[in-house]
Amino acid sequence: MSFRTIEWRDNKVIMIDQTRLPAEEVYNEYTDFQGVAEAIRGMVVRGAPAIGIAAAMGVALGAREIIADSFDTFYRQLENVCDVLGRTRPTAVNLFWGLERMKRVALQHKELDLNSIREILKAEAISIEAEDLAICKEIGRHGAALVKEGAAILTHCNAGGLATAGYGTALGVIRGAHEAGKNIRVFADETRPWLQGARLTAWELMKDSIPVTLISDNMAGWLMKSGQIDFCVVGADRIAANGDTANKIGTYSVAVLAKENRIPFYVAAPISTLDLKLANGDLIPIEERSSEEVTKVQGVTIAPEGVKVRNPAFDVTPARYITGIITEKGVVRGDYETELKALVGL
Ligand code: MRU
């Protein structure tokens, strides 16, 4: 990849600042977990897998800051670090998956001295990042097989290299099809209010010379109706046991329109995005973000002062609208309840 989303280097966490793309390609350095928590909350890093990696790296930084003389004291403080990181964004389950994995690794090594545990936590965070890249490539390989030669593909938000360790989930499918020599074209929804599609998806696809056309969100339906879209693929922030999927606000509308127009609608996500404890999508917490994201575009006010605003950052697409869920272990379709459980060996 021609950019690095997140990286551990010299005991610092380095992240490309996604709030400044595409105008500026700036890398921020974080030396403490509070900084990483702020970066997640402020969307310097965003996208479910990427915030899972950031949270894990935040825990590794936090572990270095803890002063303790026993494992129990160390672990209590590590739990506090995880609580701070866990309060940043509620919807993407990968964040909590990353935190739980780091706590489990600490507990598994409780007999070791604290410095060894700190090193093990650092190594774990680095390997979560490396694994994510490999997982995205597998998602890309499975998904590419579903894409027909010459397909026009619609995607929403950014489920790309910027939302993962690299390569992406939905954009992994697109990259996989492109690398397989299929002559694909992408339509990127701009994705109001934060403009992940316009600012990030368009930027990273252009960098890779993958043909991309930007549309505003309200154009997707008409393009589908007039036969200009063949395939839809999006990422996910949390997938419930029955296949209901939370993803960026606007995904539900895309899915309903795709069904109405008989266009396949796929979700691409790693297994770490499954939350099989939740029976259905009604139980997924939906983040509500600041009203300013709606009343302003790139700092310019576009609405009357004092107007009431809603800003749910995600919606839930019922499983019946989803043609299939593309994971690193293969594509699941039909009876999600049974198939998703089988995927994780339950
Ligand atoms: O608010 P964001 O930008 O973090 O939302 C991101 C999305 O909704 C992505 O589609 C999702 O996290 C999948 S990323 C591979």
- pLDDT digit string (tens) for 139-183? 999 999 999 999 999 999 999 999 999 999 999 999 999 999 999
Give the ligand 1 atom nearest the CA of 156: 10
SS3 state of residue 13: strand
Q: How far apart are CA 211 and CA 200, in angstroms?
A: 14
What pLDDT score was predicted for residue 109?
Answer: 98
pLDDT of residue 4 exceeding 90: yes
Q: How far apart are CA 100 and CA 61, in angstroms?
A: 16
- State mean pLDDT over 263-278: 98
User: Residue 51 corresponds to which amino acid?
Assistant: I
Question: Which residue of 41, 237, 238, 275 sits with most ligand 1 atoms within 8 Å of its CB, as the best mutation to test the pocket?
Answer: 237
What pLDDT score was predicted for residue 303?
Answer: 98
- 4 labelled as ligand-binding? no
- The model's pLDDT over 44-102, given as tens digits with 9 standing for 90+, comes to 999 999 999 999 999 999 999 999 999 999 999 999 999 999 999 999 999 999 999 99
- 47 labelled as ligand-binding? yes
> What phi and psi values does residue 313 have, to the nearest 5 degrees?
-85, -15
Torsion, Cα of 45, 217, 314, 199 (10° steps): 0
Measured in angstroms, how far is the CA atom of residue 113 from the centroid of ligand 1? 38
What pLDDT score was predicted for residue 121?
Answer: 98
Q: How far apart are CA 145 and CA 236, in angstroms?
A: 20
C-beta separation of 346 from 337 below 8 A: no
C-beta separation of 52 from 272 below 8 A: yes
Measured in angstroms, how far is the CA atom of residue 36 from the centroid of ligand 1? 18
Please state, for a pLDDT cut of 90, what percent of the chain lies above it: 99
pTM, 2 dp: 0.97
What single-letter DSSP state applies at residue 302?
-
Check the CA dihedral 183-245-79-102 and report its sign. negative
- State mean pLDDT over 217-228: 98
- State mean pLDDT over 17-29: 98
Q: pLDDT confidence of 1, banded at 50, 70, 90?
A: confident
